[in-house]
Amino acid sequence: MVYGYIRVSTDKQTVENQRYEINCFCRNNNMIIDRWIEETISGNTDVDKRKLGIVLKSMKKDDILICAELSRLGRNLLMIMAILNQCMKKEVQVWTIKDNYRLGSDISSKVLAFAFGLSAEIERNLISQRTKEALARKKAEGVILGRPKGSKSKVKKLTGHETEIQELLNKRISKSAIARILGVHRLTVTDYLKTMQIE
């Protein structure tokens, strides 16, 4: 299928110029738009919250997405690259008219795919580094990180075995034997009984 994508940022802008450009391009290349995607939304909006994101998930190998220019896909380079990378993974072609850009299976697209992957890895590393720096700063400021000291999880290893444990205790089975039956250490049983105030 061939998809025509039109995006404007405000309702004061018109979609007609973009539609005209795409229709002219298709006439010159003997193509027909099977489905139009039109939206009035900021290019900074996450693609998953846009019509484009929904349609991208349903697109299949060899489908073609045509738009007037790359900037219609997003307002910043990282967002555009993320969308193009998603299309490459699904083997969906992206064609732009003003930029004369073609994303497909040729060598230049493969080079771009490498650049996208590298950019994504750099971004992940930067996020990780920023997180580590923020944690180090908070620690230096005296902020206690992690679970407060002395607090324990309400979910125990033996949670859900209360009835079974009580029945075994009623039969005068030792804690060591109960531990073997439940596949845990003897001290786990002892600690659990103390927590539950069972002797």
Domains assigned to the chain: 2-115 (3.40.50.1390), 162-195 (no CATH)
Instruction: Please give the model's pTM, rounded to 2 decimal places.
Output: 0.55
Which one has a higher pLDDT value, 130 or 68?
68
DSSP character string of 130-169: HHHHHHHHHHHTTPPPSSPTT---S--TTTT-HHHHHHHH
| pLDDT range class, residue 104, cuts 50, 70, 90 | confident
Highest mean pLDDT among 36-45, 79-88, 152-161: 36-45
CA dist 35 and 155 (Å) reads: 52
Question: What pLDDT, on a 0 to 100 scale, did the predictor assign at position 187?
Answer: 86
In Å, how far from its chain's centre is CA 77?
18
Mean pLDDT of the chain: 82
Task: Return the beta strands (E) in the chain as ranges.
Answer: 2-8, 35-40, 64-67, 93-96, 102-103
> Residue range 16-41: average pLDDT?
93
Which residue in the block uniquely carries the two structure tokens 């110029």? 17
Does the pLDDT at position 5 exceed 60? yes
Rounded to 5°, the CA angle 182-183-184 comes to 95
Do the beta carbons of residue 74 and residue 83 sit within 8 Å? Answer: yes
3-state secondary structure of 7: strand
Does the pLDDT at position 21 exceed 60? yes
In Å, how far from its chain's centre is CA 187?
42
pLDDT tens digits along 132-141:
888 888 888 8
3-state secondary structure of 41: coil
Does the pLDDT at position 150 exceed 70? no
3-state secondary structure of 115: helix
Question: What pLDDT, on a 0 to 100 scale, did the predictor assign at position 11?
Answer: 67
CA dist 69 and 71 (Å) reads: 5
